Amino acid sequence: MERIDQTQKDSNKMSTQDEVGSNKYWLSLEQWRNDPEFKKAAEDEFMTSPLSEDKNQGGWARREFLKLMGASMALTTFGCIRRPVQKIIPYVNRPEEIIPGFANYYSSSFVDGNEGFGLVVKTREGRPIKVEGLANHPANQGGLSARAHAHVLNLYDPDRATGPMVKKGNDFIEKKWDVLDDEIVAQLRKGKVAVLKSSSLSDTEDSLMDQFSKTFGAQIYSYDGADYSGITEAQQAAYGNKVMPRYRLEDADYILSLGADILGTYITPTDYNRQYAVRRKLNQSMNKLVVFEGLLSLTGSNADERHQVRPSEYKNVLLGLLHEIIVVGGNSSYARDEKVKKSLEAYANSSDTVKAVAHELWANKGKSLVLVGGVHAAQDKNLQIVAQFLNEVLGNDGKTIDAKNAPLKGFTGSVSQLAALKTKIENDNVTTLIIHGINPAYSVPKSFNFVDLLSKVESVIYTGDRVDETGALSSVLAPANHAMEDWGDAELISGVHSIQQPTIRPLYDTRGFQDSILTWATKAGNGELSNYSTWYEYLRAYWQNHQYAKNRGFGIAKGDFEEFWQGLLQEGVFVTSKTNLKSTSGSRAFNTTALTTAVSDLSSESISGSYELELYHTSGLREGTLANVSWLQEFPDPVTKICWDNYVTVSMKTAHDMHLEEGDFMKVTVGGESLTVPVHIQPGQEPHVLGLALGYGRTKAGKVANGVGVKASDLATFSNGKFNFAGLGAELAQVEGSTKLANMQGHHSMEGRQIVVEATLDQFKENPAANIHKHKIFSMWSEHKYAGHKWGMAIDLNSCTGCAACMIACQAENNITVVGKQYVTEGRIMHWIRLDRYYTGSPNDPGVVHMPVNCQHCENAPCESVCPVAATTHDDEGLNDMTYNRCVGTRYCANNCPYKVRRFNWFDYTGVEKPLNMAYNPEVTVRARGVMEKCTLCNNRIKQEKHLATNEGRILKDGDIQTACEQSCPTKAITFGDMNDKNSRVSIAKAEKRNYKLLEELNAVPSVSYLTKVRNTKNLKGHSGADHGQGGH
Amino acid sequence: MIKRAPLILGNKSLKDITDDICEMVETPPNGKFLALLGVSKLLFLFYIFIMGAIVWYGMGLMGVNSPVGWGTDIVTFVFWIGIGHAGTLISAVLFLFRQKWRTSIARTAEAMTVFAVMTAGLFPLLHTGRPWISYWLFPYPNQRGPLWVNFRSPLLWDVFAVSTYATVSIVFWYIGLVPDLATVRDRAKNKIRKAVYGALSLGWRGTARHWNHYEMVYMLLAGLATPLVLSVHSIVSFDFAVANLPGWHTTIFPPYFVAGAIFSGFGMVVTLMVIIREAVPKFKDYITMDHMENMNKIILTTGMLVGYAYGSEFFIAWYSGSKYEVFAFTNRAFGPYWWAYWTMVTCNVVIPQVFWFKAVRRSIPAMFVVSIFVNIGMWFERFVITVTSLHRDFLPSSWGMFHFTFYDLGAIFGSFGMFFTFFLIYTRVLPAISIAEVKPVLHVGYEEDDHE
């Protein structure tokens, strides 16, 4: 502008100089004279237009018009350039490790309750978007649970607290950390400090807590929402050693579970799934799983033999087995122990079933494993002592049970510590209570009156990530970082040290719990801790002085510490030189007094009431800690297939007797407490038992979880120093009204169709293709040719336990939306891979089979031919592609899909609340409203690995590409690969005789195939495979 | 020799005919008509609101889900397309067969076809997830490659079938209107009417050459429209028959759908004719009881054809030996949607049997009731085919139910608002009976020496 102004000024100046004779150079006398007419002519000389002779003429001249038109065209097209309106700045100094568009993977770990996982965290542009199992981690060996996947979404939970807060009246007001720290230190200095926290799996954290205790004289108490103190206390009573044994299912030929849902929720189910499945692979001797239980659990659904007993009868079964083996059979060294024999006397009258099991157990001595579990039994010391004794008698201790070499770490929490804290508070010995890692106001059952205790404490400092049930009753909320935002470590198994790396800077003004502890202790003058300004420094120093120092020269500790640390961060796990995970550890001396005491205690227990209520954990929500993660709320229970609710499960008989319909409201009463819940009629449930899931009924968890279900723990009673989660004498009454439970599955019988093919082990040995009914298929057309790759998948139904971790892995990988309870009931669930569960045989005692179903990528895809706009087509590598952009949404493809795997975007599901959008995987399109979607066999991963191989100039190897479901599967039931490569794992799997295709007779030629399920039993319940009487030929 | 019954009653002169028919077009509507139109228009506006909401928020507002991907929209689409068939059958097929009784009802039946196809045509476009790009269903040169439609998809065949049908029907109907429009033009007393009808009548002067051309074109178009009666609903049935779903994948569908379409179409024609006869008493002389009886006979015949198809489906399902087929049909009759199935059978097969009795065939209230039942029954037939086949197919895990929502009901009833709004306006702006075609049959039944 300035320059223009200058020119104008100049021209003005010139015109003032236009006096007569002032022109230095002149062309004519007229010019020299400054003749007005000449001046006018000179002005117009170069400005006339052929179409606009007269300047005063109105309208636009041709040139002007063209000029303006050109300019406006330029302007409009300029407006079309998609340049952001806001200022953007490119990376001036790009972080070395971040390449936009490329994912970075960091080793880390995650502890869910006491179940630990080695993780690989996938980050994109600095934000974690997915976790994958760390393949070389002994705790999970690449497998992950659904909950571990949900851990990512928990990071981006919009309901998290954004900074420290202090309670004023009924409101929480924000406060700065430095101000708050001073206040807290002043409060802590008053003394009488107690800390209530979840079990610690970290020596580092424990040593820090020791320092903290020293500084403030604090007492530390541990309790877990999922409490397994019965086992550790039983170990102490029997062997004098408080330890959580590592159950080695891998080495067990015969597994007997009494209510222990080892494949669903018990202790470390992900690892158990893996170990169990190792022994289901048919190339080695197959294990046998026998389950006694009241409710139908995931483990029970997988059992080779399942017997229905009430939870209160577990002791009868266990002691009956002992009686059969010791007294009747006269087996084992205890057969000479009169004290033991006497205590078993009362359990002489066992059923034939128990006798048979006793016989089989003894036949498998040293190679068997007996587990008693369930939420109740896990903290029932006496039951655990008896079970441990049975293992002892069978010689399993030290073989399938490792409590010596490398037991599990953690599990330090117990009800007794909670009770001790209670006594202390009641005696006014607690002024300040710090609560970390547990939400006791929710997870401690109401009968314990924990909530009342909090009001007796002057100041409660809570480090939870939100103002939840406990947060609301606290004085200070000092929110800890999410595990993904913080450093940490965990010793999941003795000697197996994992590191937890932060993969994102804290999203909010939160601070790690350990950093808080460090800060408070330092401010209060702890000299030792003042050497460390952050928890990270402390952690590093601790590792240098301990794990590194003790293992110098071993593995990654060969070089200096910096090298060790680098190696640790890369590998994520360090197994110390002395760790022995494989070999047997030898037996220990069992204290039989513990047994006799336990037996007499158990004998005195009795129940009153028409029904026996058992409270249980679901594999999605478990104790309710991740309840606000929508993926888990919409994660159907592996057995009932219901999500978004808890419900009282009743047997077929109860439903028949009381004329109940699914979803009717029931009143369940235990003692003086009652809850109103909808009913679910559960085939295979013991007629006297009622089931109700814990983990629901959150009131302050956040938008997702609040008001979903009822808080079942209200019915748990507290007596003899333990909670009663099972064996609760209960009354059941129908009340007005009913609701529709969100059941993902529409029908539960295979209707005699060949869907899941099952065979007994004997049948399989005789004929590996047993029970598969092959159809004669002929076609007018020649087969499709695939020159390069031909992707396919094989799913081994014999390995698959139905844990459904693949569903959530797929959801995380593929940005699959959650639709909510209402739309699940309306049939609009979006999962790309689903777990179908069918019952076979009699509903009173059914067989159960599980089947993952994803898009089958048919070669003759029925969906492809009917799409009018060719939005779904086949690619030259055998994939059935879906072009979202082209999809108009006629839904014809979904109608014509025999497997019903296509999912439609009924509404606009893209607008998730911030910052949940950060969990989206940028490699997978977020689907718009009105388009169809379905499993792509992780096409994004295929493309990525292919590009990578091309860039590196190598040939793609089998196993380079893993689909998300395959990767997460703890049992390795899913195999993906190139069917054109005859040596690929998928080709080998498909070459097995028990390979079959779902709905083969339709000649859709799916690229996904299934392998028969084999049960180690004499007879299958109900029909096996196809009904041979009918069926097209 | 039996004397032919007159086709036009009341000893009309040629002028009477012109006056009678033009009266509707030339006199302002009475209150009753306006009230009827008002109700229809309100319903139409409601329909626009319903469809607008669905376009705005998504298909999720309707009851469709997985596994029932098609619901009310497709059911009602097939229903309306079926309705259209009677119009073409009357105006084209009966014309070719020289059925002179058709003349007085052909115009309105044809109009019904046009409006029914218009109503129907919207459904497949609006039932898509992204209706704003449903023009991608049409093959047209584009800059996306060019990317063409999938010619293997029955839905695409549908697009061609329905658009061809709509075009031919409209042209055929319009050509037939030309001489009458000229009549209205000639009788017009003000400038605007003269101009409008003048333009619409395409310069018709009634010369011999005009008549010659007109008759020729009319016959050719009738010939062109006749195969459409068979083809359109055959192709619509391919939407189902070509899919591999048990209950859909049957070869009987094309003839079964055509029979059903004619059946439902005649049901609708009877409904409309009864209404017109009541609304315009003068028309009773033109649309006589004989007309109504003829149509009722057709309803009886096609009803039994449809009933035969129902039975034959069951036989084939059993005979095929396919357990999926057997299940699909057992499930239809005795599954959770038994009520829909038996509503269909009752309305379509049982109730029309009353037309065996002449008294019933000639009773206006009786035929009105039956025709309504036929309409209901035929809607349910499509519901049964679409929904009951989808809701339980191959894998029992995916079985589900279809639930009507407010928007489903809105779409069904609202579409009637659209249809009747157009239809009522039509009766006031165009001659509802073909003047030019009625006049030549005036003599039928009056002349002694009609047949030597």
Q: What is the CATH number of the domain that holds A188?
A: 3.40.50.740
Q: How far apart are alpha carbons A110 and A115 in whole angstroms?
A: 8
Q: In total, how many domains does chain A have?
A: 5
Interface of B with A in 29-68 (CB under 8 A): 57-60, 63-68
Lowest mean pLDDT across A29-38, A613-622, B52-61: A29-38
CB contact under 8 A, B243 and A932: no
CB contact under 8 A, B67 and A867: no
Which of the four pLDDT bands, split at 50, 70 and 90, describes residue B240?
Answer: very high
Cα dist from A258 to A290, A608, A727, whole Å: 9, 22, 14
Residue A129 lies in a domain: no
Residue B452 lies in a domain: no
Domain encompassing residue B273? 20-441
Q: Is the pLDDT of residue A283 over 90?
A: no
Q: pLDDT for A987-1010, tens place per residue?
A: 999 999 999 999 999 999 999 999
b or e along A197-214 (b: 16 or more beta carbons within 10 Å of the residue's beta carbon)? Answer: bbbbbbbbbeebbebbee
First to last CA, chain A: 87
CB contact under 8 A, B398 and A746: yes
Which of the four pLDDT bands, split at 50, 70 and 90, describes residue A81?
Answer: low
- A703 shares a domain with A792: no
B244 Cα to chain A: minimum distance (Å) = 6
Tell me if chain A has a CB within 8 Å of the CB of B325: no
User: Sign of dihedral through CA atoms B29, B35, B40, B43?
Assistant: positive
pLDDT at res. A19: 52
Among residues A632, A694, A492, A800, the alpha carbon closest in space to that of A146 is found at A632
Which of the four pLDDT bands, split at 50, 70 and 90, describes residue A1032?
Answer: very low
Contact between A255 and A276 under an 8 Å Cβ cutoff? The reply is: yes
- A216 shares a domain with A253: no
State residue A391 phi and psi, 5-degree precision.
-60, -40
Q: How far apart are alpha carbons A990 and A978 in whole angstroms?
A: 11
Tell me if chain A has a CB within 8 Å of the CB of B344: no
Q: Amino acid letter at A480?
A: A
Give the ranges where A17-61 is alpha helix by DSSP (H). Answer: 29-33, 36-44
Among residues B186, B324, B176, the alpha carbon closest in space to that of B245 is found at B324
- A277 shares a domain with A185: no
Tokens, residue A281? 């692979």
What's the whole-number mean pLDDT along residues A286-305?
Answer: 95
Which of the four pLDDT bands, split at 50, 70 and 90, describes residue A15?
Answer: very low
Measured from the Cβ of residue B12, the count of other Cβ atoms closer than 10 Å reads 20
b or e along B244-260 (b: 16 or more beta carbons within 10 Å of the residue's beta carbon)? Answer: bbbbbbbeebbebbbbb
Q: Is the pLDDT of residue A77 over 70?
A: no
Residue B74 lies in a domain: yes
The upper half-sphere exposure of residue A764, i.e. CA atoms within 13 Å in the direction of its Cβ, equals 27
The upper half-sphere exposure of residue B442, i.e. CA atoms within 13 Å in the direction of its Cβ, equals 16
pTM: 0.88
Among residues B267, B261, B259, the alpha carbon closest in space to that of B369 is found at B267
Contact between A371 and A258 under an 8 Å Cβ cutoff? The reply is: yes
Which residue from A750, A828, A896 is facing B244, i.e. has the nearest CB? A896
Residue A598 lies in a domain: no
- What does pLDDT average to over chain A? 89
More confident residue, A58 or A673: A673
Residue A1021 CA, distance from chain mean position? 32
CB contact under 8 A, B396 and A853: no
- A804 shares a domain with A729: no
State residue B426 phi and psi, 5-degree precision.
-60, -45
- A851 shares a domain with A993: yes
Chain B residues near residue A890 by CB distance under 8 angstroms: 124, 127-129, 155
- A203 shares a domain with A269: no
Residue B40 lies in a domain: yes
Which of the four pLDDT bands, split at 50, 70 and 90, describes residue A60?
Answer: low
Measured from the Cβ of residue A76, the count of other Cβ atoms closer than 10 Å reads 9
Which residue from A870, A929, A1030 is facing B129, i.e. has the nearest CB? A929
- What does pLDDT average to over chain B? 92
ipTM of the complex: 0.94
CA quadruple B323, B324, B325, B328: dihedral, nearest 10: 120
- A640 shares a domain with A530: no
B379 Cα to chain A: minimum distance (Å) = 20
B403-408: long-range pairs with CB below 8 Å, 24+: B403/A826, B403/B63, B404/B63, B404/B72, B405/B61, B405/B62, B405/B63, B407/B50, B407/B53, B407/B54, B407/B61, B407/B62, B407/B63, B408/B62, B408/B63, B408/B71, B408/B72
Strand arrangement, sheet containing A254-258? A305-308, A288-293, A254-258, A368-372
Residue A70 lies in a domain: no
Chain B residues near residue A1025 by CB distance under 8 angstroms: none
CB contact under 8 A, B394 and A999: yes
pLDDT at res. A2: 47
Nearest CA in chain B to A837: B397
- A189 shares a domain with A326: no
Contact between A966 and A974 under an 8 Å Cβ cutoff? The reply is: yes
Q: For residue A1006, what are the contacts with CB-CB under 8 A and spacing of at least 6?
A: A856, A857, A858, A859, A899, A997, A998, A999
One DSSP character per residue, A870-892 reads --EEE-TTS-EEE-GGG-----H
- A974 shares a domain with A851: yes
pLDDT at res. A82: 56
pLDDT at res. A45: 63
Q: pLDDT for B108-137, tens place per residue?
A: 999 999 999 999 999 999 999 999 999 999
Q: For strand A728-738 and strand A664-670, is the pairing parallel, antiparallel, or unpaired?
A: antiparallel
What's the whole-number mean pLDDT along residues A699-712?
Answer: 94
Interface of B with A in 157-196 (CB under 8 A): 159
Measured from the Cβ of residue A960, the count of other Cβ atoms closer than 10 Å reads 17
Contact between A709 and A627 under an 8 Å Cβ cutoff? The reply is: no
Q: pLDDT for A462-509, tens place per residue?
A: 999 999 999 999 999 999 999 999 999 999 999 999 999 999 999 999
Chain A residues near residue B133 by CB distance under 8 angstroms: 888
- A854 shares a domain with A978: yes
One DSSP character per residue, B48-86 reads HHHHHHHHHH-GGGSS--SS----HHHHHHHHHHHHHHH
Which residue from B65, B127, B392 is facing A827, i.e. has the nearest CB? B65
Q: Amino acid letter at A902?
A: R
Nearest CA in chain A to B238: A866
Among residues A924, A933, A922, A795, the alpha carbon closest in space to that of A853 is found at A795
Q: In total, how many domains does chain B have?
A: 1
CB contact under 8 A, A898 and B65: no
- A377 shares a domain with A279: yes
Q: Examine residue B67 and say whether the peptide bond preceding it is cis (omega within 30 degrees of 0).
A: yes
Residue A577 lies in a domain: no
Which residue from A890, A899, A929 is facing B395, i.e. has the nearest CB? A899
Chain A residues near residue B152 by CB distance under 8 angstroms: 865-866
Mutate to test the interface with A, among B126, B143, B244 (most CBs of A within 10 A): B244
CB contact under 8 A, B65 and A828: yes
Residue A148 lies in a domain: no
Number of residues that make up chain A: 1033
Burial of A62: CB neighbours in 10 Å, binned 0-12, 13-18, 19+: exposed
Residue A927 lies in a domain: yes
Which 8-state DSSP code applies to residue A297? -
Residue A74 lies in a domain: no
Domain encompassing residue A899? 758-780+788-1015
Nearest CA in chain B to A998: B395
- A819 shares a domain with A837: yes
